[in-house]
Amino acid sequence: ENLEDAGNELILTDEEVVRFQIGEVFAHVPRDEVETRIEEMKELTTKNLERLEQEKVSILSQMAELKKVLYAKFGDSINLEED
């Protein structure tokens, strides 16, 4: 969302050189370069989000299998938290 907001703000500005935060420092960077960097950051963030979503599905599946094993072994004597 922050990258999307930054891209929208960049569209609204009419300056050719904008301040861009690199680490803890703001640098004056040409607008075209900032647009490119923001797009690259969006793509990287989207890929990371997709990877994390897949990992989440895998972990939830493993948890479900482990719950089955534990309930089979201990029956109703345990109470596992629901998602």
- pTM, full prediction: 0.66
Residue 15, SS3?
Answer: coil
Identify the pLDDT of residue 81: 73
Q: Could you report the average pLDDT of every consecutive run of 10 residues in the chain (83 residues)? A: 87 87 91 92 95 97 91 81 65
